[in-house]
Amino acid sequence: MRQFLKVGVTLALIAAIAATTLAFVNAVTAPRIAAYEMQIIENALSTVAGKFRLGETKPSLTDEKVSAVHLLQDTDGNHIGYILQLEGIGYGGELTIMASYLNNGEVVEARLLANAETPGLGKKAEAPTYMEKFKATGAAVPVPVKKDALQKEDADSISGATITFAGVAKTIAYGSNYVKSLGGK
């Protein structure tokens, strides 16, 4: 009985020391991680804004797939569209996409931010050139959500990662429809 008590106390001490160490490491690194994540978002916003200016930012309280809405303005300050921070699902799980749209739902630019896609396949979606297949879609031309809606070279570029493509495409299409529902407001 005494041996079990000794082992139990030893394990409890080890667990307490490990928990204290982890709490300390978390306290030191949490602000740096938050600052890094904010920098990623700011860089993505400036990239997808392109030649336009960012207007007011507001959280989306009514839609679980849209985590933030940023107004997009022309150089004269006129409201011309939105930048949305979108949440979707790919092969590796959750995706975070930052995309800009004109008021009619047309995709201006998009970037894949957070993801857990397969290196060498789904990770290709992080490349700026990957998102070019979605530009100028969503208004007169629908967002391509299936491989057969793409031109041959674009379809070839997603081979081996069609689930990632479908997740990205459906999320971007959702954003386009969301912007259309706002009606330029």
Question: What pLDDT digit, counting tens, does each position of 15-72 carry?
Answer: 999 999 999 999 999 999 889 888 988 888 888 998 998 888 877 767 889 989 999 9
C-beta separation of 82 from 101 below 8 A: yes
Structure tokens, 104: 């009619």
pLDDT in the model for residue 106: 94
What is the arrangement of strands in the sheet containing 66-73, beginning at the earlier edge strand? Answer: 53-59, 66-73, 79-90, 93-102, 107-112
Question: What pLDDT digit, counting tens, does each position of 125-168 carry?
Answer: 877 788 888 898 988 898 888 776 677 776 666 666 678 888 89
pLDDT in the model for residue 116: 72
Looking at the chain, how many residues does it have?
Answer: 185
The model's pTM: 0.79
pLDDT in the model for residue 15: 96
Residue ranges of E strands in the chain: 53-59, 66-73, 79-90, 93-102, 107-112
Q: How far apart are CA 37 and CA 33, in angstroms?
A: 6
